[in-house]
Amino acid sequence: MKILLAKNAGYCFGVRDAVNMAYDTAKEHGDVYMLGHIVHNENVVDDLDKAGAKVVDSLDSVPDGRPVLLRAHGTHVDIVEEAKNKKMNIVDATCPLVRDIHDEIKTLEADGRKIIIIGDHGHDEVVGIASQVKDPIIVATADEATELRKTKRAGVVSQSTQTIENVQDIINILMSKVVDLRFINTICFPTKRNQEQIKELSKQCDVMFVIGSFTSANSKRLTDLSKERNSRSYQVTCASDIDEKWLDNCEIVGISAGASTPDNIIGEVLDKIKEIGNVQEEEIYA
Ligand code: SF4
């Protein structure tokens, strides 16, 4: 059996930097507080908690003088303002590519356009993007786009981890509804690269594994893209999720992982598959 590991499987640079900042700040100050989970992965959250990076549900729960970390996927402007007004020690781990989306959407609004965000309702990144402007419309699917009223001028951005296909479907519908449509493609480059890799990799393998938490939208999207091309595609959260039977009659197994999956979990899954297939080395798929 041969194992092909997607070259960029796992943490994107934005999540990696944010997680490292959380560990470093906890080490320096003894603890650090985050409003919600820094990544959608239970193992990372547990490990960070042990290191002193705690999850709280409001700024009021942060003890006086302790640092508060703003997560990679951005924060509602009201919360940032509240933290500033309280003169809290803010450690800003917002990914620069999410910050770019905030800048783009404000420019579109200043240009007098109705704002449309292509993204998942209630997702933290989308909440943060939406908070940058007044009354944006959030559209998650093509069906929702068909429900929109016609409008003269609109500006559109997308959540960084959307699939190109979903965004294209929605933009096609918007073209028939908006006279003056300006679309800024804000799917981030790590997302585009990982999606392109899994589309090719899944076609070349007998079995595909996507490693990631079921709470991670990004991992789920990779799994969907893989399943569309390879019916023997499985999403696993860790090595113990793997059923050996899945690898029956398998010559090539492909592996990718969501942007919130840490290296050690990828390593454990690799080790388990190597053990099942009696493989020494994986090959990197670029
Ligand atoms: S998925 Fe993209 S935008 Fe989001 S944190 Fe990672 S690099 Fe940044």
CATH code at 223? 3.40.1010.20
Look at residue 97 in the predicted model and tell me its pLDDT. 98
Look at residue 42 in the predicted model and tell me its pLDDT. 77
Look at residue 39 in the predicted model and tell me its pLDDT. 81
Distance 37 CA to ligand 1 centre (A): 15
CATH code at 25? 3.40.50.11270
Tell which of 40, 59, 94 closes a domain.
94
Whole-number Å distance between alpha carbons of 43 and 45:
5
| Average pLDDT of the chain to the nearest whole number | 95
What is the token pair recorded at 180? 């003056």
Q: 194 and 280, same structural domain?
A: yes
Residues having CB closer than 6 A to ligand 1 are: 12-15, 72-73, 95, 97-98, 160-161, 188, 190-191, 259
pLDDT at 273 over 90: yes
Please write the tens of the pLDDT for every residue from 230-269: 999 999 999 999 999 999 999 999 999 999 899 999 999 9
Q: Residue whose CA is closest, atom 2 of ligand 1?
A: 188
Catalytic residues: 125
Q: 174 and 198, same structural domain?
A: no
Distance 152 CA to ligand 1 centre (A): 32
Taking the CA of residue 12 as reference, the ligand 1 atom at the shortest distance is 6
Q: 222 and 254, same structural domain?
A: yes
Task: Note down the domain range covering 254.
Answer: 2-10+190-285
pLDDT at 44 over 90: no
CA dihedral 201, 206, 207, 210 (to 10 degrees): 10
pLDDT at 41 over 90: no
Q: Which band of pLDDT confidence, cut at 50, 70 and 90, is reported for residue 207?
A: very high
Tell which of 43, 71, 94 closes a domain.
94
Please write the tens of the pLDDT for every residue from 73-124: 999 999 999 999 999 999 999 999 999 999 999 999 999 999 999 999 999 9
Domains identified in the chain, total number: 3
Look at residue 98 in the predicted model and tell me its pLDDT. 98
Query: pTM of the predicted model, to two decimals?
Result: 0.91
For the chain, the DSSP string reads: -EEEEETT-S--HHHHHHHHHHHHHHHHHS-EEEES-SSS-HHHHHHHHHHTEEEESSGGGSPTT-EEEEPTT---HHHHHHHHHTT-EEEE---HHHHHHHHHHHHHHHTTPEEEEES-TT-HHHHHHHTTSSS-EEE-SHHHHHTSPPEEEEEEEE-TT--HHHHHHHHHHHHTTEEEEEE-----HHHHHHHHHHHHHHHH-SEEEEE--TT-HHHHHHHHHHHHH-SSEEEESSGGG--GGGGTT-SEEEEEE-TT--HHHHHHHHHHHHHHHT-S--EEE-
Tell which of 131, 165, 187 closes a domain.
187
